[in-house]
Amino acid sequence: MSRNFYILAGTFGLFAVVSMGMALVPSSFQPGLPANGSLWRTIALIMLLAGLASALIGVLSNLFEQVDRRSEENRQAARRKRRGRTE
């Protein structure tokens, strides 16, 4: 599941870079699009923050999945060890 958050973070990052690029392009090259550079910079900042947040969620999700997996392995190993002693 954390892989989905990494993909989402990459997508937000890409759109943030595109938005920042649009802020640097003169308005004559953007027919029909908002020509206000501060609007593009604001969108880029929001996209960047969303990308960072989804990357953080992906990292935390991956860490918790790893902890769950290891605790389950330890629990099964302890169970096998107990069963080996009683038999």
Q: Give per-10-residue mean pLDDT for the chain (87 aa).
A: 90 95 79 76 95 95 90 87 73
Residue type (1 letter), 48: L
- Does this model's pTM top 0.85? no
Residue type (1 letter), 28: S
Q: Give the pLDDT confidence score for residue 80 in this predicted structure.
A: 86
**Domain interval for residue 67:** 2-86
DSSP H helices, 25-87, are 37-86
CB distance 65 to 2 below 8 Å: yes
Residue type (1 letter), 52: L
**Cα–Cα distance, 81 to 87 (Å, whole number):** 10
For the chain, what is the domain count?
A: 1
Which residue shows structure tokens 């027919």?
31
Q: Give the pLDDT confidence score for residue 77 in this predicted structure.
A: 87
Q: Give the pLDDT confidence score for residue 53 in this predicted structure.
A: 96
